[in-house]
Amino acid sequence: MTRPSSPWNVPPADRERQRELKRDAVILAAARAFRERGYHNTSLDDIAAVLHVTKPTLYYYVSNKEQMLFECFREGLGRIAAACGEARDANASGRERLIAVVRGYAEAITSDFGWCMVRAEDQDLSPQMSARIKALKSEIDQDIRRLVRQGISDGSIAAGDPKMVAFAIAGALNWIAHWYRDDASLSASAIADRFIEFFVNGLAPRVSGATAGKSP
């Protein structure tokens, strides 16, 4: 398992900041463990061993393994939501804003939290936690639909069904988590570029300069 750097091994700084760093390290270690072992095959002892702490130490930052999974969901989805927020504030066309969200989405899915967002089950969370995750996902879906509608309105996106476009984009991006590996030949940014190219240009063949303008 990839071992994240442990803030327990560095001199103490600001107490509140140190606690945040340690909690972040716990969540990151959990995300990596869930991805490598699977949620049900990962124990709190496994996560504690990676961080070189005791299992009781983990309870100072999270109440149980379920909360770890919830925080992994929330961290990954939060990155996509942040990209949507930046797009809303941008002075750009709907298409340009949507491209920015696709890039942020791809980077979130290829992060350590991507596996949890896509391959972990909502059923492993309590009804209350599951409802909060579903609400976050719904907000992201609505943001993407809104950008598609804006693009259609300003002429930067072809007319179509915003709901189906949003489903297609999210479905394609989510699937990255099923095959992406840290040692892949393409970086997260490069993968985002490939997906953006496809979403923008589709499957239409490119017309070369030599053939442009010629009658069939």
pLDDT attached to residue 209: 53
CA-nearest of 210, 83, 54 to 147 is 83
Distance, in Å, from the CA atom of 216 to the CA atom of 206, rounded to the nearest integer, reads 15
Enumerate the CATH 1.10.357.10 domain ranges in the chain, comma separated: 65-200
The whole-chain average pLDDT of the chain stands at: 86
CB-hemisphere CA count at 13 Å for 29? Answer: 26
Residues 24-56 have pLDDT tens digits of 999 999 999 999 888 999 999 999 999 999 999
The pLDDT assigned to 204 comes to 63
CATH architecture of 65-200: Orthogonal Bundle (1.10)
Q: For residue 74, is pLDDT > 50?
A: yes
Contact 112, 32 (CB under 8 A): yes
CA distance 182 to 24: 20
Lowest mean pLDDT among 53-57, 91-95, 133-137, 186-190: 186-190
The pLDDT confidence band at residue 12, using thresholds 50, 70 and 90, is low
Q: In whole angstroms, what is the distance from residue 84 CA to residue 144 CA?
A: 8
pLDDT tens, 160-216? 999 999 999 999 999 998 888 776 678 888 888 888 888 887 766 655 555 445 544
149: pLDDT confidence band, cut at 50, 70 and 90?
very high
**Contact (Cβ atoms closer than 8 angstroms) between residue 20 and residue 7:** no
Which residues in the chain are classed under CATH 1.10.10.60?
Answer: 7-58
What number does CATH give the domain 7-58?
1.10.10.60
CB 75 within 8 A of CB 113: yes
Looking at residue 5, its pLDDT comes to: 56
